[in-house]
Amino acid sequence: MKIGELLEELFDQNPYMAALITDNEGNLLYINKTYLKILNLSKEEALGRPIKEFTPQTRVTAVLRTGKAVVGYNWRVNGYNMIASCIPIYKDGKLNGAFAYSVFLDIWNAKNLVENLLNELNMYKDEVNELYRAKYSFDDIVGNNEKLKELKAFARQIASHGSTTVLISGESGTGKELFANAIHNSSNRSGLPFIRVNCAAIPENLLEAELFGYEEGAYTGAKKGGKPGKFELANGGTVFLDEIGEMSLTMQSKLLVVLQEQEIERVGGNRPIRTNVRVIAATNRDLEKMVEEKKFREDLYYRLNVVRLEMVPLRSRKEDIPVLVQHLICKLNKKLNVFIKDISEGALKLLSSYYWPGNVRELENVLERAMIMADMKHASILRSRYFAFLNNRCEFQAASGLKSLKTMTWEFEKEAISKVLQATRGDMSMAAKYLEIDLSTLYRKLKKYHIPAEFSPNQKKRS
């Protein structure tokens, strides 16, 4: 079969396409069977007649007038709703006619296709959202300590400012991740992903791809079609950069650029991708000290430290231990599938006398251990004996006066600074001189040890 015949056959017999060809005056030279059927005409009635006679709104007229194609317009005729295109035909540089054809004979086909695609897309979006959901809200943050209540109130305010970067610092187990969850969940980003990246757990050479994704062929073993990074996946939501203090200086520079430009570039890619994410970073390291020691970029520090939440160590809010214990017993009852009802006064007293270097997480672990022991004895009240292991630790601490180096340093520094401030009647500059430290370091330590700035009634202002 010759190509001409083949083409005619293809056009004529194609039930999915309406097609016609006119001369340069708009008279029909060719019209296929499908279109004849739609127009309810026979070939004899149509050929040689101006197309305008059958479809007065035809784009053929405009195409012949301008010599330019009209592509992808909506074309309704006799109850059919098509997407069509009309292109001019040139011969030896002269406009010779027009070719009009439907891309979708019935737009409902197109609509179904788009709808199916959208459904599929939404299904994946839901899956991503489910996978990357923030588990905790502000209701899960327990405690009545003034400082903690202030922190919660402040964090709630921050949450409503959907794009503000937040830096959460504090010792291990003090609830940094809990706060990050709560901020996301009560922000207008809550329906979108919350993605945590543990900067300490991912090897440096993989962190960039993890955060920003990579393009196909970026390196050997790179997935076909590339892979989106966490910033792309979290679009519209929150990226929680945990343990940010462990990030290498090289990665710090790259992160800084992303935060400034609000654009990422996949590894091995060359097109910038706009991002809309809120960044919450957390660390248990002393970032200010790291900046002084040039281990953390100062510009990144300022970029992250827009809003700061400094967690309160458990030992500074021991009054919260009873409510926390009640809360954690409920939580652990579900997790361990046990039925512990309460805790005895004696056991609570014991818990309150401990120093809690691992903060709420350590409290949770200690309770878990005690609850398992109590359950094994079919007891429903946690008594001191189930905390014997802790008792030993406390007694050991108290009786021998032996404490961990961290504890001793903590207590000694706090005491020393308080004493000097008392002696200088709250004069910060003088205190800093006595202690032979920078004024900025002194302020940092006041914050760390929760020594109030209004320490002395005669406090002099910083000059």
In the complex, the residues that contact ligand ATP under the rule CB under 6 A are 140-143, 170, 172-178, 284, 324, 327, 360-361, 364
Nearer to ligand ATP, 177 or 215 (CB): 177
Rounded to a whole number of angstroms, the minimum distance from the CB of residue 320 to ligand ATP is 7
Nearer to Mg ion, 242 or 288 (CB): 242
> Looking at beta carbons, which residue is closest to ligand ATP?
175
Residue 424 CA to residue 190 CA, distance in Å, equals 49
Task: Classify residue 461 as exposed, middle or buried by CB count within 10 Å of its CB (0-12, 13-18, 19+).
Answer: exposed
Q: Kindly indicate which of the ranges 33-41, 128-136, 168-176, 372-380 contains the residues binding Mg ion, using the contact rule CB under 5 A.
A: 168-176
427 binds Mg ion (CB under 5 A): no
Nearer to Mg ion, 176 or 266 (CB): 176
Nearer to Mg ion, 35 or 194 (CB): 194
Phi, psi of 265 (to 5 degrees): -130, 125
Rounded to a whole number of angstroms, the minimum distance from the CB of residue 186 to Mg ion is 19
> Which of Mg ion, ligand ATP, none sits in contact with 142, Cβ below 5 to 8 A by type?
ligand ATP
Task: Classify residue 179 as exposed, middle or buried by CB count within 10 Å of its CB (0-12, 13-18, 19+).
Answer: buried
Rounded to a whole number of angstroms, the minimum distance from the CB of residue 160 to ligand ATP is 21
Q: Which two tokens stand for residue 134?
A: 């923030």
Rounded to a whole number of angstroms, the minimum distance from the CB of residue 325 to ligand ATP is 10
Classify residue 138 by its DSSP letter. G
The residues pairing with 307 across neighbouring beta strands, listed in sequence order, are 166
* Helix ranges (DSSP H) in 42-192: 43-46, 60-66, 107-131, 146-160, 176-185
> Which of ligand ATP, Mg ion, none sits in contact with 360, Cβ below 5 to 8 A by type?
ligand ATP
Q: Kindly indicate which of the ranges 5-13, 100-108, 174-182, 322-330 contains the residues binding Mg ion, using the contact rule CB under 5 A.
A: 174-182
Nearer to Mg ion, 200 or 423 (CB): 200
Nearer to Mg ion, 59 or 176 (CB): 176
Residue 439 CA to residue 430 CA, distance in Å, equals 9
| CB-based contacts of 123, cutoff 8 Å, min separation 6 | none
Rounded to a whole number of angstroms, the minimum distance from the CB of residue 317 to ligand ATP is 9
Classify residue 2 by its DSSP letter. -
Q: Which two tokens stand for residue 447?
A: 């914050």
Report CA dihedral (352, 358, 362, 366) to the nearest 10 degrees: -60
Q: DSSP secondary structure string, 288-315?
A: HHHHHTTSS-HHHHHHHTTEEEEPPPGG
364 binds Mg ion (CB under 5 A): no
Collapsing DSSP to helix, strand or coil, 56 comes out as coil
The residues pairing with 342 across neighbouring beta strands, listed in sequence order, are 381
Rounded to a whole number of angstroms, the minimum distance from the CB of residue 382 to ligand ATP is 17
The residues pairing with 241 across neighbouring beta strands, listed in sequence order, are 197, 281
Cβ–Cβ < 8 Å for 420, 451: no
Rounded to a whole number of angstroms, the minimum distance from the CB of residue 205 to ligand ATP is 23
Q: Which two tokens stand for residue 110?
A: 């197109």
> Which of Mg ion, ligand ATP, none sits in contact with 173, Cβ below 5 to 8 A by type?
ligand ATP
177 binds Mg ion (CB under 5 A): yes
Rounded to a whole number of angstroms, the minimum distance from the CB of residue 168 to ligand ATP is 8
Nearer to Mg ion, 170 or 226 (CB): 170
Nearer to ligand ATP, 177 or 265 (CB): 177
Nearer to ligand ATP, 51 or 281 (CB): 281
Cβ–Cβ < 8 Å for 174, 287: no
> Which of ligand ATP, Mg ion, none sits in contact with 174, Cβ below 5 to 8 A by type?
ligand ATP
> Which of ligand ATP, Mg ion, none sits in contact with 352, Cβ below 5 to 8 A by type?
none
Rounded to a whole number of angstroms, the minimum distance from the CB of residue 285 to Mg ion is 12
Residues in the chain: 463
Q: Kindly indicate which of the ranges 137-145, 170-178, 285-293, 455-463 contains the residues binding Mg ion, using the contact rule CB under 5 A.
A: 170-178
Relative to beta strand 278-283, strand 238-242 is parallel
Residues that bind Mg ion (CB under 5 A): 176-177
